[in-house]
Amino acid sequence: MGKTEYDMLQGISAVENGFTNPAYDLSYDEYKEWLRITDNNSRGIDLPEGWIPYTTYVLYIDGIPVGYGRVRHSSSEYLETIVGAGNLGYGIAKEYRGKGYGSILFTELLKKCKEIGYKEIKLFPMKSNEPTVKNMLKNGGQIIGDFKNQKHIIRIPIE
């Protein structure tokens, strides 16, 4: 990941609709260090307490990065019950929203969940994030509860 991916990441706020983007507002040199840390985290190295390994994916449309997402390698009771974070998360850069790219990225992340071996996933979208909730329900999700009256808990079977 280089300068074009860095530029795309600057179009997704640090925390937006519950999705965190630690690369937001970093200098380019800080971004390169973030990439090193992210690579280590994907292999379970130097993870913060309570975290589990995850892989980061970038969605390219016609060779241009438009968004990115993360898939955790397993479920975490701590993240689900204390933090309100599920098995995956994603964001699309502001200039590329409203074009269906979130739906494409979400579908691709579901495929990655299947490759990892998930039989089902849990997601915790903000109730106010209607496009994401709609996308999750369209992809087989069912609302099974709520988290602190701010987020839905959505279960999606992986087929």
Q: Which residues contact 96 (CB under 8 A, 6 or more apart)?
A: 11, 61, 66, 67
pLDDT at 39 over 80: yes
**Residues 91 and 67: beta-carbon distance below 8 Å:** yes
pLDDT at 1 over 80: no
Domains in the chain, CATH or no CATH each: 3-118 (3.40.630)
pTM recorded for the entire structure:
0.92
pLDDT tens-digit series, residues 127-152: 999 999 999 999 999 999 999 999 99
pLDDT cut 90: percent of the chain above it:
88
pLDDT tens-digit series, residues 44-67: 999 988 789 999 999 999 999 999
pLDDT at 77 over 90: no
β-pair partners for 60: 65
